[in-house]
Amino acid sequence: MSVKSLKDLPVEVGVVYEGERIRGPDMYIELGGPKSDYKFELALVKDEKDVEDGKVSVVGKDIGDFDEGSRVPFGVLIEVYGKEIEKDLEGILERRVHDFINYIHGMMHLNQRYDIWCRVSKDAKSSGLKLEDVGAALILLYKQEYSFIDKIQITLITDEQEVKKHREGALKAYEARDERIRGMKDEEVDVFYGCSLCQSFAPNHICIVSPQRISLCGALSWLDCRASAKIDPDGPNFPVEKGECLDEMKGEFSGINEVIEEYSHGSNEKIYMYSMFDYPHTSCGCFEAIAFYLPEVDGIGMVDRNFKGTAVNGLKFSTMAGQTGGGEQSVGFLGFGVLWMQSDKFFKADGGWNRIVWMPSYLKEKAKDHIPGDVYDKIPTEKEITEIGDLKNYLQEKNHPVVARWVEEEEVEEEKEESIPAYEAGEVPVVTAPAMTVPGGGGIKLILINAKIYADKVIIKKVE
C-alpha cells in the first residue's frame, strides 16, 4: 500500500465528515443504492496465509471511468487476520464500514449488508478520489481503530457479474450469522446491548439490541454487540443492564429507560421493546423495514426497503422513512430489522401477527415459517390489496383476527354512547381546543391514534 497516512489521500478523512449528506445535484456517482439490484458489504476473518496486508483490489471500473450520474452495482469485501480475532467479530467489523466510509469527505454510506447505498460527490471526484483511495482509507481506519487486526485486505467491486457472484456468498454468510442467535430468549440474559453508531445522523438515537430483537439495521445481533463491547469497550457498543422488568408484555425495563434518557439527551424517557405505540423504540434511518399503523382497520402494515411500489397507505418506503427516522419517537411508525419477525416478541404487546394486516409478498415469503398458520392466508400483500379502501372488506371476508378488535371497540363505543347524557336541541356542549402556534409558519404533523372524529364540516384557514 503506497498510502501511509490519511493525509496522503486526495480528500480529507475524519470523523468531522460523518453525517455529510450528498444530495442528487452534488452527486457524481451512486454505488449500490435502491436503483442497483446488486450490492453488498462483507467482512470475513481469514487464515493468515490468505490475507495480504494492505492490499487494495478494484474489480471493475473506477469512479472516474463512469459517466456523471451513474448508478452502479457495488461490493465491499473486507478480509482480516489477527491472532485474537474470532469469527464472532465479523458482523461488528463489517458494520464499521458505515462510519469509516462516512469519514471520507465527499462520500456517503447508508444501510448495511445486502443493501448498501453509497454516493461520491462531484467535488470528491474532481479532487481525484479513486476506489483505491477508498480502500486505502478503510485499511488505515480499521488498523487505527482495532489494534488486534494484524493483516487486512480490501476488495472493491463495481463489475456487475462479480458483485452478483460475491453477493451470493455474502447472503449465505449473513444467514449463518443470524442462525447463531436463533433460539436465545430475552429472559435468559440480564444484559442487553446499546449501539450509538448512528448518532452522527440521528443524535438522540441508540439501538437497544436484545437476543430477540435485532438492531434496526439488521446488521448487529446481541451476540455481535457482546463481542464488540468485549473487545472494544470504548467503541459504539456497550452493555445495558436490563434492571427491573416494569412491563413484561410491552418490554419495558428500568435499566433500559435510564440509558435511553441519557443517550437521547433527555428527549425520550423510556421505550417499549415490543410495541410500536406510546413509547416506541426510536428509529435512526438505517432500518431494514418500517411498520405503520392503519387507523382505518386498527392494524399494522409493514414495508421493507426492497419494496419499490406504494404501500397500502398510499405511501412509498422512502416517504415513510422520512416520517420514521431521525431518532425521534414516532408513534404510528417504527423502523425495525427484519429478523425481528422471527421472534415471539414481535409486536408482542400490540397483538403480534394477529395485528399485521398488510405486507409486501416478498417479505411475507421471507417470514413464512414464522407467521402462525391460521393467520398466514389472511394477511394481504400488494398482490391482493393495493388500496386502503379495499382492505377492510378483505380482512372481514377472510375473518382476519383484527376484525375481533373492531367488534370489541364497537361494544365499548356503544357502552360509552349509552352513558352519554342526552341533550336537548341547542344544549349540545361545545369543546374548544387550545390555539396552536406553529413556529416559523412551518408544516405541522398531527398523528391521531385510536381517534374517531365526526364533523359536518372542517375548515382550515390561514391566519393572515
What gap in Å lies between CA 292 and CA 276, rounded to an integer?
A: 9
What gap in Å lies between CA 250 and CA 136, rounded to an integer?
A: 46
Tell me which stretch binds ligand SF4 (CB under 6 A): 75-83, 122-130, 194-202, 401-409.
194-202
Binding of ligand SF4 at residue 43 (CB under 6 A)?
Answer: no
What gap in Å lies between CA 301 and CA 307, rounded to an integer?
A: 13
Residue 166 and residue 42 in contact, taking contact as beta carbons nearer than 8 Å: yes
Binding of ligand SF4 at residue 207 (CB under 6 A)?
Answer: yes
Binding of ligand SF4 at residue 101 (CB under 6 A)?
Answer: no
Binding of ligand SF4 at residue 163 (CB under 6 A)?
Answer: no
Tell me which stretch binds ligand SF4 (CB under 6 A): 33-41, 81-89, 195-203, 432-440.
195-203
The interface with ligand SF4 within residues 299-338 (CB under 6 A) comprises: none
Q: Which of 42, 97, 197, 302 binds ligand SF4 (CB under 6 A)?
A: 197
Binding of ligand SF4 at residue 208 (CB under 6 A)?
Answer: no
Task: Enumerate the H helices of 1-68 as residue ranges.
Answer: none
- For ligand SF4, the closer of residues 336 and 358 by Cβ is 336
Q: Quote the cell numbers at residue 40.
A: 453488498
- For ligand SF4, the closer of residues 97 and 120 by Cβ is 97
Q: What is the SS3 assignment for 173-222? A: HHHHHHHHHCCCCHHHCCEEEEECHHHHCCCCCCEEEECCECCCCCCCCH
Q: Which residues contact 376 (CB under 8 A, 6 or more apart)?
A: 364, 368
- For ligand SF4, the closer of residues 237 and 354 by Cβ is 237
- For ligand SF4, the closer of residues 78 and 136 by Cβ is 78
- For ligand SF4, the closer of residues 286 and 371 by Cβ is 286
In angstroms, what is the minimal distance from the CB of 350 to ligand SF4? 21
Q: Which of 286, 291, 311, 379 binds ligand SF4 (CB under 6 A)?
A: 286
Binding of ligand SF4 at residue 93 (CB under 6 A)?
Answer: no
Tell me which stretch binds ligand SF4 (CB under 6 A): 43-51, 161-169, 192-200, 317-325.
192-200
For residue 67, what is the DSSP state? P
Binding of ligand SF4 at residue 95 (CB under 6 A)?
Answer: yes
Q: What are phi and psi of 240, to 5 degrees?
A: -130, 115
Measured from the Cβ of residue 463, the count of other Cβ atoms closer than 10 Å reads 5
For residue 104, what is the DSSP state? B
In angstroms, what is the minimal distance from the CB of 134 to ligand SF4? 20
Binding of ligand SF4 at residue 371 (CB under 6 A)?
Answer: no
What gap in Å lies between CA 382 and CA 314, rounded to an integer?
A: 12
What gap in Å lies between CA 333 and CA 300, rounded to an integer?
A: 9
Binding of ligand SF4 at residue 273 (CB under 6 A)?
Answer: no
What gap in Å lies between CA 297 and CA 400, rounded to an integer?
A: 11
Tell me which stretch binds ligand SF4 (CB under 6 A): 169-177, 213-221, 240-248, 409-417.
213-221
- Does residue 106 come out as left (phi exceeding 0), alpha (psi in the -120 to 50 range) or beta? left
Q: Is 229 helix (H, G, I), strand (E, B) or coil?
A: helix
Binding of ligand SF4 at residue 290 (CB under 6 A)?
Answer: no
Q: Which of 153, 215, 313, 354 binds ligand SF4 (CB under 6 A)?
A: 215
Four-point Cα dihedral 184, 185, 190, 194, nearest 10: 80
Tell me which stretch binds ligand SF4 (CB under 6 A): 209-217, 273-281, 340-348, 411-419.
209-217
What gap in Å lies between CA 418 and CA 214, rounded to an integer?
A: 46
The interface with ligand SF4 within residues 119-148 (CB under 6 A) comprises: none
Binding of ligand SF4 at residue 260 (CB under 6 A)?
Answer: no
- The site that binds ligand SF4 (CB under 6 A) totals a number of residues, namely 12
Measured from the Cβ of residue 385, the count of other Cβ atoms closer than 10 Å reads 19
Q: Which of 11, 78, 219, 371 binds ligand SF4 (CB under 6 A)?
A: 219
Binding of ligand SF4 at residue 283 (CB under 6 A)?
Answer: no
Binding of ligand SF4 at residue 149 (CB under 6 A)?
Answer: no
**Interface positions with ligand SF4 (CB under 6 A):** 95, 195, 197-198, 207, 215-217, 219-220, 284, 286
